[in-house]
Amino acid sequence: MNIFRFAGDMTHLASVLVLLLKIHTIKSCAGISLKTQELYALVFATRYLDLFTDYISLYNTLMKLIFLGSSFSIVWYIRYHKIVRRSYDKDQDTFRHYFLVLPCLLLALLINEKFTFREVMWTFSLYLEAVAILPQLVLLQRTRNIDNLTGQYVFLLGAYRALYILNWIYRYFTEPHYVHWITWISGLVQTLLYADFFYYYFQSWKNNVKLELPA
């Protein structure tokens, strides 16, 4: 464990907590894409298959449980909670996220480090996570006034993977034979998808104006 990865995990945790805070306290999911949340639930479900078979550390197991629990409960809240679901804008959240799942699965079957079920599922989760934010970014462009919590959520979600990139660079230079091209390229693509969001988020913070993405 290095400071970059720990900071990344904490940033990821913070993004989840911000979202749970928003949904649980003000009982609203305005501006939040259910599709991105469903994709993330699938990402964690396919990435943490070794949750019960391999024990790495208490930290590792705890964080996996938090990410799995939070992502599935957020999907439940938006789909079934009688108050929260009313604020879900299904007419705007129209990204065909199923069109993301299949290509990622096919790609994972073609390009992976080892052709085993667990390895292919793990690779699938990496590819899917790289594109999981797309429905949310599309929804943000359609949502005129983005509330602070939603903006913070997306920012933290993007920042965590950027910190992971620093972690991979650090591990590459400090650990012999630490080479994971699939992880690195997926993480880089994922972070680059946030590039324009980061730009507008920074501009709104610098000029102290409401965050708005150009249509």
Partner 1 sequence: SQSKFPKDEL
Residue 151 is classified by DSSP as: H
Closest to partner 1 by CB, 10 vs 189, is 10
Return the closest-CA partner of residue 123 out of 70, 181, 82, 72.
181
Q: Measured on CA atoms in the order 206, 209, 211, 215, is the torsion positive or negative? A: negative
Q: How far apart are CA 21 and CA 149, in angstroms?
A: 9
Helix (H) or strand (E) holding 170: helix 148-174
Closest to partner 1 by CB, 89 vs 119, is 119
Closest to partner 1 by CB, 12 vs 97, is 12
CB of 113 to partner 1, least distance (A): 3
Closest to partner 1 by CB, 28 vs 60, is 60
Return the closest-CA partner of residue 119 out of 25, 192, 17, 46.
46
Residues present in the chain in total = 215
CB of 177 to partner 1, least distance (A): 8
Closest to partner 1 by CB, 152 vs 167, is 167
CB of 182 to partner 1, least distance (A): 9
Q: How far apart are CA 67 and CA 213, in angstroms?
A: 28
CB of 181 to partner 1, least distance (A): 9
Return the closest-CA partner of residue 11 out of 176, 186, 191, 210.
191
Cβ 157 vs Cβ 132: under 8 Å: no
CB of 114 to partner 1, least distance (A): 4
Interface residues toward partner 1, by CB under 8 A? 5, 9, 12, 50, 53-54, 56, 60, 63-64, 67, 112-114, 118-119, 122, 164, 167, 179-180, 183
